[in-house]
Structures are given as C-alpha cells and as structure tokens.
Amino acid sequence: MEENIVALLIPISAIVLGIALAFWSVYWKHQRKRLQYQERQLMIEKGMVPPPELPEDNRRMIGRTPEDCLRRGTVLLFLGIGLAVGTAVLANFMDDREFVGLIALAAAIVGFIGLGNLVFYFIARRKPEDTARTL
C-alpha cells in the first residue's frame, strides 16, 4: 500500500515543482524588468538622460557568430565520432544490442548536429562582412 503512495507522489511532486519553478522564473524576470523601468523613471525625473535600453536578453547573442558555430560544430562532430568508436568497441564486449543501438543513435545525432554547424559556418563565412549577420 505504501509503495503505491510513493509511486504516485514522485511524479506528482515532480510536476508541481516544475510548474512552481516556471512561475518563479517568470516572477523574477518581471521583477527585474520592473526595477529597470523604475530606475529609468527616476533618472528622467531627476533630469538625467538614461542610457539606451539593453536588448531583451544578452545571453541569446552569445555564441551566435559563424566562428562560434565552427568551434561548436568541430567539437560536436568529433564527439559524435568518439561516440561511434565507443559504440564499435562496446558492440564487441556487450550482449545488450538495444543499449549499443541507443549509443549509436546518440552518436549519429550529435555528429549530424556538429556537421550542421560546420555547414552553417562555411556558408556564413562566404558572405561579405557588411551583409553577414549573427543569428
């Protein structure tokens, strides 16, 4: 009987805590934005010129240049190759073909994501500097 209760409490608590974390994140983002607006308002009331507003989220712009895609693509491609080599080695020592197949699938996914980043780099670097843009 107690095992059934514990089995039900685990997913329920995970869902409730996930929703609570999402609301907490939204609340703190709203508070930060409200404080920024209050600061700007006070500066205007005192006759100061407030600095221009910052972009919505500076973290989005990090790692979006073609050179960053080259670095990320190279790392992911070689990680995929490493996982593929590890899969080949594990296939000789393990009898569990399903597990080895999952690792092989992960290697293919990681490798193709890296290959996609490298293709993006080679396409983006051909553009002239004034028309090349970051994502």
* Average pLDDT by stretches of 10, the chain with 135 residues: 79 92 94 92 91 64 75 92 90 84 91 92 76 52
The answer on 103 and 62 residing in a single domain is yes
**Cα distances (angstroms) measured from residue 19 to each of 5, 6, 24, 28, 118:** 21, 20, 9, 14, 37
The answer on 86 and 47 residing in a single domain is no
The answer on 63 and 41 residing in a single domain is no
Q: Which two tokens stand for residue 98?
A: 């399903």
Q: Classify residue 119: in a domain, yes or no.
A: yes
Count Cβ neighbours within 10 Å for each residue of 90-115 and write b for 16 or more, e otherwise. Answer: eeeeeeeeeebeebbeebeebbebbe
Whether residue 103 contacts residue 83, with contact meaning beta carbons closer than 8 Å, is answered with: yes
Q: Classify residue 132: in a domain, yes or no.
A: no
The answer on 92 and 79 residing in a single domain is yes
Q: How much is the pLDDT for 22? A: 94
* Cα 20 from Cα 69, distance rounded (Å): 34
The answer on 64 and 43 residing in a single domain is no
Residue type at position 123: I
The domain total for the chain is 2
Question: Residue 72: which domain range?
Answer: 58-124
Q: How much is the pLDDT for 23? A: 95
Q: Classify residue 133: in a domain, yes or no.
A: no
Q: Classify residue 93: in a domain, yes or no.
A: yes
Whether residue 114 contacts residue 79, with contact meaning beta carbons closer than 8 Å, is answered with: yes
pTM above 0.95, yes or no: no
